[in-house]
């Protein structure tokens, strides 16, 4: 039976089924990551992103296809995690733009939407590479445009699109040297096709996981100060809006400033996120309803929360003055967390190698920093794009993303920061500092593969230098020593080596490395620090 038109209900079912298919297969997609390390997370990041989108879509009961597409776009942006998740959110964003104002869509409309999605995603990536999810999105666009000129049957078109895109996916193994060596296809492309295949062929019209990926889970502070809370209600919600503009946002900010503090207003094309502390949440909601419909409303009584945690003898405290500079850093591991705090980081985001934070996680952390200028340290190359998207979605504070790709670069950036220097000087100093640190990591292989001319067996010790395999060993200590020798050889002017040992490493084993270094390289200052990071035995910096 032919399918000539798609309405909002059909697109909704398509997205939910696609999200469920990817969620079921995310471990298989994770396993396609080129590096056989235990933090391969493309499938997980994409799954959490599309599940966030599916949850928003599931709330829409409109037959209008654009209403569902808007929910798809905004939901994926809020929940986007990692580079693959952010790229997926941009594919959905362009797809939604192309369907703007439409009640239903025919084959040509869908083909144009795929094309707009592809173009939007390519623009979001600084240096696009072929052999990636972008290549698969291009194949989907090209084949859908070709088929839309041959048939008006959307089912026929989509079957041909998926078939062709799978052929292109198989070719990605030869498009990038790293994919060829590992003998795998691109994980992001596989994830994207899992969504399309689930949407077209499956019938899972439900959300399998109840994941609140946009909400930040906080642990209770160890030492709770008694403070006077000026405004009692923390009020957060989204405004769904058809035609956003600067004047609407300016008027909203002015109103919020008159009724509360701790104001955050972040926006996308079709929604505005509001966060405000106020004594009149009802008035805030009434004012917001003049702009658009409301969603994800959360109102918390901060005074009740506070008195549940401390004695009722509340002492007065002067409001803290807004600082010139503040820091948000991605971190993982008890010791590393403590060290970032000692370096003056205001807010930590749990994540990194094992779980990339979402754009919403980053925005929530920025919200809490009482500073005019907030530096974000992603400390992982797979989080940089999400940090940049958070910067674009936020306009209440000046956000500066320092493109750190490791915790060692994060610490190096912090040591070069000067509170007396200007914003521009600090940006320049931090960017220069991160170039001067060499980073090594020691972990284990989760599968057998061949990569960079190394024959790797499961559970081999992988010793990596700047993200590439330097040596493979059967012994943690011996492999780490070889890595250290290479790092020092390359850093001829090095003066300091720092070793962060992970949660599964005994301090005595780390001290053996210190002894080795002090005997062989007596001119180096050596620091042995408990990092507590999972999965990685050692993280090493030489500078």
Q: Per-residue b/e over 448-463, b at no fewer than 16 CB within 10 Å?
A: ebebbebebeeebbbb
The β-bridge relationship of strands 398-401 and 371-377 is parallel
Instruction: Cite the DSSP H helix spans in 308-422.
Output: 334-342, 359-368, 384-392, 407-415
What number is the average pLDDT over the span 471-478?
95
Helix, strand, coil percentages for the chain (3-state, nearest 5): 45, 20, 35
Dihedral (Cα; 289, 294, 300, 302), 10-degree rounding: -50
- How many Å from the N-terminal Cα to the C-terminal Cα in the chain? 66
For residue range 116-163, what is the model confidence (pLDDT) as tens digits?
999 999 887 767 889 999 999 999 999 999 999 999 999 999 999 999
- C-alpha span between 65 and 155 (Å, rounded): 17
Percent of the chain topping pLDDT 90: 54
Q: Quote the CA–CA distance of 69 and 92 in Å, as a whole number.
A: 8
Tokens for 247, please give them: 């004047």
The residue with greater pLDDT, 336 or 446, is 336
Fold of 233-307: Alpha-Beta Plaits (3.30.70)
Task: Find the range with the poorest average confidence among 58-72, 152-166, 256-270.
Answer: 256-270
CATH 3.30.1180 in the chain: give the residue spans: 438-542
The boundaries of every CATH 1.25.40.340 domain in the chain are 8-201
Q: In the chain, which residues fall in CATH 3.40.50.510?
A: 323-436
Please give the structure tokens belonging to residue 275. Answer: 């966060």
Distance in angstroms (rounded) separating the CA atoms of residues 107 and 109: 5
374 within 8 A of 327, measured Cβ to Cβ = yes
pLDDT band, residue 266 (cuts 50/70/90): low
Phi, psi of 369, deg, nearest 5: -85, 120
Residues 6+ apart with CB under 8 A from 522: none
What pLDDT, on a 0 to 100 scale, did the predictor assign at position 384? 92
Phi-psi region of 497 (alpha: psi -120 to 50; beta: other; left: phi over 0): beta
What's the CATH class of domain 438-542?
alpha beta
Which two tokens mark 50?
A: 């599309």
The pLDDT score that the predictor gives to residue 312 is 40
In this prediction, residues 16-35 reach a mean pLDDT of: 87
Residue 212: per-residue pLDDT = 40
List pLDDT tens digits, range 270-328. 677 676 778 888 888 888 888 888 877 877 776 554 454 444 444 444 556 789 999 99
Burial class (CB in 10 A: 0-12, 13-18, 19+), 367: buried
pLDDT at residue 210 tops 90 = no
Query: How many C-beta atoms lie closer than 10 Å to residue 419's C-beta?
Result: 9
DSSP letter (8 states) at residue 428: H
C-alpha span between 188 and 179 (Å, rounded): 12
pLDDT for 112 equals: 97
Using DSSP bridges, classify how beta strands 461-465 and 468-473 pair: parallel, antiparallel or unpaired. antiparallel
Comma-separated ranges of CATH 3.30.70 domains in the chain: 233-307
The rounded distance, in Å, linking the Cα atoms of 393 and 78 is 10
Q: DSSP states of 476-517 as a string?
A: HHHHHHHHHHHHHHH-TT--EEEEEE-TTS-HHHHHHHHHHH
- The answer to whether residue 64 scores a pLDDT higher than 50 is yes
CATH class, 323-436 region: alpha beta
Share of the chain above pLDDT 70, in %: 87
To the question of domain 8-201 being in CATH 1.25.40.340, the answer is yes
pLDDT of residue 230: 63
Question: Can you give the pTM of this predicted structure?
Answer: 0.67
Helix axes 359-368 and 384-392, enclosed angle (nearest 10): 60
Quote the mean pLDDT of the chain: 85
Q: Would you say 78 and 360 are in contact if contact means Cβ atoms under 8 Å apart?
A: yes
Under the banding of pLDDT at 50, 70 and 90, the label for residue 413 is very high
């Amino acid at each position: 039976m032919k399918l000539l038109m798609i309405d909002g209900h059909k697109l909704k079912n398509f997205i939910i089924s696609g999200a469920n298919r990817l969620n079921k297969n995310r471990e298989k997609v994770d396993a396609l990551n080129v590096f056989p390390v235990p933090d391969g997370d493309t499938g997980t990041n994409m799954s959490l992103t599309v599940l966030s989108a599916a949850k928003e879509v599931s709330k829409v009961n409109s037959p209008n296809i654009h209403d569902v597409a808007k929910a798809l776009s905004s939901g994926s942006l809020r929940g986007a995690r990692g580079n693959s998740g952010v790229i997926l959110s941009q594919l959905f964003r362009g797809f939604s733009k192309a369907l703007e104002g439409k009640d239903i869509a025919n084959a040509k409309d869908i083909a144009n939407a795929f094309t707009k999605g592809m173009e939007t995603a390519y623009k979001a990536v600084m240096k696009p590479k072929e052999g990636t999810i972008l290549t698969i999105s291009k194949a989907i666009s090209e084949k859908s445009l070709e088929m839309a000129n041959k048939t008006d049957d959307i089912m026929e078109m989509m079957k041909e699109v998926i078939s062709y895109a799978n052929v292109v996916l198989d070719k990605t193994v030869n498009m990038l040297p790293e994919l060829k060596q590992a003998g795998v296809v691109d994980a992001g492309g596989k994830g994207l096709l899992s969504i399309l295949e689930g949407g077209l062929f499956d019938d899972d019209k439900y959300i399998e996981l109840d994941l609140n990926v946009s909400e930040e889970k906080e642990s209770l502070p160890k030492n709770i100060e008694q403070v006077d809370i000026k405004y009692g209600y923390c009020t957060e919600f989204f405004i769904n809006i058809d035609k956003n503009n600067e004047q609407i946002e300016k008027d909203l900010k002015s109103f919020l400033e008159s009724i509360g503090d701790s104001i955050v207003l972040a926006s996308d094309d079709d929604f505005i996120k509001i966060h405000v502390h106020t004594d009149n949440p009802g008035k805030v909601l009434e004012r917001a309803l003049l702009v658009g419909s409301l969603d994800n409303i959360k109102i918390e009584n901060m005074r009740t929360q506070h008195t549940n945690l401390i004695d009722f003898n509340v002492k007065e405290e002067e409001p803290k003055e807004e600082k010139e500079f503040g820091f948000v850093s991605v971190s993982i591991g008890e010791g590393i967390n403590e060290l970032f705090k000692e370096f003056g980081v205001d807010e930590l985001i749990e994540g990194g190698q094992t779980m990339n934070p979402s754009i919403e996680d980053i925005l929530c952390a920025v919200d809490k920093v009482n500073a005019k200028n907030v530096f974000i340290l992603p400390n992982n190359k797979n989080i940089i794009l999400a940090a940049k998207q958070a910067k674009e979605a936020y306009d209440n504070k000046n956000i500066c993303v320092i493109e750190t790709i490791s915790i060692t670069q994060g610490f190096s950036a912090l040591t070069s920061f000067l509170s007396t220097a200007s914003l521009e000087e600090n940006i320049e100093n931090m960017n220069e500092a991160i170039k001067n640190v060499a980073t090594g990591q020691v972990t284990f292989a989760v599968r057998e593969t061949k990569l960079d001319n190394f024959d790797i067996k499961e559970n081999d010790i992988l010793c990596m230098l700047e993200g590439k395999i330097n040596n493979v060993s059967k012994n943690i200590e011996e492999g780490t020593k070889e890595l250290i020798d290479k790092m020092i050889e390359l850093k001829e002017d090095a003066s300091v080596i720092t070793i962060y040992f992970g949660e599964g490493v005994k301090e005595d084993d780390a001290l053996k490395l210190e002894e080795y270094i002090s005997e062989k390289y007596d001119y180096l200052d050596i620091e042995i620090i408990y990092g507590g990071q999972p999965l990685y035995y050692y993280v090493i910096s030489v500078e």
